[in-house]
Amino acid sequence: MSDTLPATLGVLLAGGLARRMGGGDKPMRSVGGRTLLARAIARLMPQCDGLILNANGDPARFASFGLTVVPDTVKDFAGPMAGILAALEWTAAHKPDIEWIVSAPADSPFLPRDLVVRLQHARVTQQAELAVAASGRQTHHVTGLWNVAMRGEMRQALVADDLRQVSRWTARYKAAVVEWPVAPLDPFFNVNTDDDLAAAERLAEFDR
């Protein structure tokens, strides 16, 4: 991580149920001989001051990746915001010197290598409270930069207000939106269906 940027912990979100792919651990599906999770780790880890994995169930199934597995702290699979909250709370408890986390889906195999530096730069230059990624005229609210100090407000929103959409959460704050190009591939392409998995196989040839 650059000395000019604040320390940032990464979290890959793998806490979902993968209903559209028949259940199971979607990030463990393979593209070009490597799992989606392995590809996401390779993209995000070099940018961060540590990397954790948000996942529920038996953490042993991810042991080969060497990451700390942090489960949701809100019950009933409350969506990606629950994973972001779990990461914020884990960071406050275990990495008190780190004020920022960056989140991304664990089923996004082509994450940009400049994700953290561009999000942090936009947050500072725009005097924003958080920053999120965008591409192809679509904002990817789950791929974002979050302040650990927000964890109490996020828990209140998720538990007391039943606010589960990350986009509704970010709307409460001044957010910097950072755009990436979609050629030769969309760096925020994520795999939700078997058709997406097939598309990722084709896109992998552009992954450099």
- CA 149 from chain centre, in angstroms, equals 18
- Of all residues in the chain, what percent are helix, strand and coil, respectively (each to 5)? 40, 20, 40
Q: How many domains does the chain have?
A: 1
Range of the structural domain that residue 126 is part of: 8-206
Q: Round the average pLDDT of the chain to a whole number and report it.
A: 91
Structural domain includes residue 1: no
Structural domain includes residue 3: no
Give, for 43, the enclosing helix (H) or strand (E). helix 36-44
What's the CATH number where 137 sits? 3.90.550.10
Q: Dihedral through CA 136, CA 45, CA 176, CA 155, nearest 10?
A: 110
Give, for 175, the enclosing helix (H) or strand (E). strand 175-180
What is the value of pTM for the model shown? 0.92
Which pLDDT belongs to residue 1?
46
> What angle (nearest 5°) sits at the alpha carbon of residue 153, between those of residues 95 and 13?
55
Rg (CA), the chain: 16
Structural domain includes residue 151: yes
Chain position carrying tokens 């702290």: 73
Structural domain includes residue 102: yes
Which pLDDT belongs to residue 22?
44
Q: Dihedral through CA 49, CA 94, CA 146, CA 128, nearest 10?
A: -80
Predicted confidence (pLDDT) at residue 17 exceeds the cutoff of 70: no
Q: Which of 153, 42, 52 is closest to 101 using CA atoms?
A: 52
CB atoms within 10 A of CB 193: 12
Structural domain includes residue 20: yes
Which pLDDT belongs to residue 99?
98
| 63 and 37 Cβ atoms separated by less than 8 Å | no
165 compared with 26, residue with greater pLDDT: 165
| 131 and 145 Cβ atoms separated by less than 8 Å | yes
Q: What residue type is 34 in one-letter code?
A: R
Per-residue pLDDT reduced to its tens digit, 77-130? 789 999 999 999 999 999 999 999 999 999 999 999 999 999 999 999 999 999
Structural domain includes residue 2: no
